[in-house]
Structure formats: C-alpha cells, structure tokens
Amino acid sequence: MTLAHEMSRIGARAKEASRQMAKASPGAKALFLHRLAALLEQEQESLLAANARDLDAADARGIDAPRRDRLRLTPAVIAEMARACRHVADLDDPVGATESQWQRPNGLLVGRMRVPLGVVAMIYEARPNVTIDAAILCLKAGNAVILRGGSEALQSNMALAALLSRALNEAQLPADAAQLVTSTDHGAVTELCRLDQFIDVMIPRGGESLVRAVQEAATMPVLKHYKGVCHAFVEESADLDQALDIIFNAKVQRPGVCNALECLLVQASVAGDFLPRVAERLGAAGVRFQACPRALPLLGAAARPATDEDWGMEYHALILAVRVVDDMDAALDHIARYGSNHTEIICTRSHPLAMRFLREADASMVAVNASTRFNDGGQLGLGAEIGISTSKLHAYGPMGVRELTSTKFVVMGQGQVRE
C-alpha cells in the first residue's frame, strides 16, 4: 500500500467516524473520558516504560534539553492528563446548543446552533501529552481526530493511542474517531495536507518550520501559531517585588515552551532600580541577557549587546532580550513591531494604563500583573487545549472544546415562503 493510499484510508475512516461522533450522546462522551482517565492511571508503568524507550533514542540522537523536557512523561504529567480527562468530561457539551435566537417580522425563528468541525488533523512534535489533550477535546466537541506526532515520541504515542482505542470501545464509540499515524515518513504529513475531502481543519503544533510547512501544503483551513515571542512591560508604577517574581516565573520556569517570556521592556524611570535586581535573580538561575545600550550597563556580566535579530527572537532557552523604553507608547510600538500575537503582559499599579494595555496590545492573551505562562488552556479554565491560535479566524488564543466547534444557522418556520 502506498503512503498516499494509507493516509487516504485513514482520512476516509475518520470522516465516517465523525458522523457518528456528531450524534454521540453527552453521556457516551463522558463515559469515554472517565474510562480514559482510569486507564491512564492504571497503565502508568507501561506508559513510563514506552516513554523511556523514546528518551533513550532521543539521547542517542543528541536531542537538546528543551526538546527532551517536552518529550518526557512523568507520574505528575500522567496524573495531569487524567485530571484533564475528568475536567473535560464535566464541561458542558457544546454540540447542539443554540447560542442565540431571534424572530423575523415574517415569523421565522432564526438561531445559531453549535456544531462539530468534523475531522481535525493534529500535527505535532515532541510532546506525547498532546496525544491525549487533542483527542479528548476533539472528541468532546463531537469531532474525529487524526493524530500525527513526531517520530521522537512514537513509542509513547502508540501506548497512549492504545488507551484511546480501549476507552472508545468501552464507551461504544467508533474506534476510528481517534487514529494515530504511525508512519515516520515526512511524506505522511504532505499526504494528509491534500485530503481536504476528508479533513476539515489542520492544526500544526510545533516549531515555526513545521507550522509553515503545513500552512504552505494544506488544502484545508489551518489553525496555527508560528512562534511565541512574549513580552513583559514593567511600567514605572509597578510593584517591583511583584514584577520580579512574575518575570522570574515567566522566563525560568519552563524556558522551552511557547508561553515563556522572551523580551523584557522596562520603563526608563525604574530601570536603574529594577534591572540590577533582574540581573541578580535571573542571572543566578542561569539566564543570559541580550541588552539594548541603556540596559547593558545595568545587567552585569551576564549581559551582551543585543543585535537587531534579538528583537522578535524566540529563544527557547535561558536567554532574555531586555530593552529600556521611555513610556508605554514606546513599549506598545515595540510589541507591535516584534510581537507574534501570542502573549503580552504589563506590570503596573495604574488602572487606566492597565486598561489601555489590554485594549491596545494585540495578542491572543494580554494580562495585567500575571505571568505569560498562564496562556494555556488548562490554566485559563478550558480543561486542556489543542494549541494556541495566533490567527484571528477561527479562534484566537488557546483552543478548547468550544473552539473546536462552529455554528450553523437553524430556522423554524410555519410555511413561510419568500416573496
């Protein structure tokens, strides 16, 4: 069987399964999710063993530390996946809900009903937990999902996919509603991108090169973000102790993820006080600074002069670009030029400036006095997420159950005809 034929068969089976999922009862979907949570807990040791094989192979290939971190499963990660299953099970089922309704002068009752997208193809790298997050959200929203993870996580993904199949069977839902592509041939993604007769939307989640390759090849809509260039602006009225805690968390906790802080903007009037404290605390954690001329002398031995390439750079490492700006206008100008529409935050005690920043900073999440790390579906109350969209159609920000549905018009008449 050729690769093209194999992918076409997967797509056709997913399309048929999506019709069954669209009419699946909320109870059946909830049973699936609770059974999957139990299986994740019961099969923890086998999941960790499969993941260990992936980690050994990654070490042999010399994979870098941030990618290894994303690849690794732990008991805590598995427990979080199980918690997400139960949380999503308890969410309201969006399918079939009529969100708004109005009556026309001719008596027609017009409404908008929420419906599944259909078949979602998820293309992702490294993170095996995405296999579970993507599946539970897509299935809860009445979709079928095709999962194509990176070759580095193949053993982990196969073990997780086996649990998905078991849970679907136990809930009497179609097994083809969640299919894992096990081919490691890069051509598999290219073939999937051509199946617009079966696949309704592609969601690439990974490095910028992967996302751009999918965007260029896909014949169906793509929900995406290219990179996460996240900024923090420390305004002169900020509580500097609080701001330091926020900056530390945003940069240091997990520097290899898309919602990690990449650039710090500090108002000139507080830079002399704040930046030496940043240098001391973040420098002790191994952070290196790429600094503008005004910031450079305030950041000590761990600082180097920034180049033009540092503004707008997603480092995925313990490196932080730092720039001193005169005021909020300059901060917003910098964000507009170099931001990636992912996450922007401000540290301030001024309510008017906070509200202005919320309005004018263009990103999928904008926050006041909170870490960039909160741009995450679980942290924002979605239970889990399938990815963060930085394109404004069809979703903007973390995509949970609701974002994996669309709406259609439904009309109730009593014999009306158009004149």
Cα angle for residues 276, 278, 280 (degrees, 5° grid):
70
Between CA 154 and CA 133 the distance in angstroms is 16
Q: What pLDDT was estimated at residue 294? A: 98
Domain 230-374 grouped into CATH 3.40.309.10: yes
Q: At residue 282, what is the residue type?
A: L
Q: Dihedral of the CA atoms 82, 87, 89, 91 (nearest 10)?
A: -160
**3-226 is a CATH 3.40.605.10 domain:** yes
Give pTM, 2 decimals.
Answer: 0.87
Burial (CB < 10 A; 0-12, 13-18, 19+), residue 165, is middle
Residue in 96, 162, 100 with CA at minimum distance from that of residue 128: 162
Rounded to the nearest 5 degrees, what angle is found at the Cα of 42, between the Cα atoms of 37 and 44?
Answer: 95
SS3 at position 101: strand
Spans in the chain with pLDDT lower than 50: none
> Looking at residue 414, what is its pLDDT?
96
Strand, coil or helix: what is 227? coil
- How far apart (Å, rounded) are the C-alpha atoms in residues 365 and 360? 12
DSSP state of 256: T
Q: Residue type for 153, please?
A: A
Q: Specify the pairing of strand 178-180 against strand 288-291.
A: unpaired
At residue 377, the pLDDT reads 86
Please tell me the predicted confidence (pLDDT) of residue 64: 84
For residue 326, give the DSSP letter: S
Interhelix angle for 268-284 vs 240-252, to 10°? 50
Q: Residue 380: exposed, middle, or buried by beta-carbon count in 10 A (0-12, 13-18, 19+)?
A: middle
- What is the predicted pLDDT for the residue at 42? 98
Residues in the chain: 419
Instruction: Please state the domain extents for the chain.
Output: 3-226, 230-374
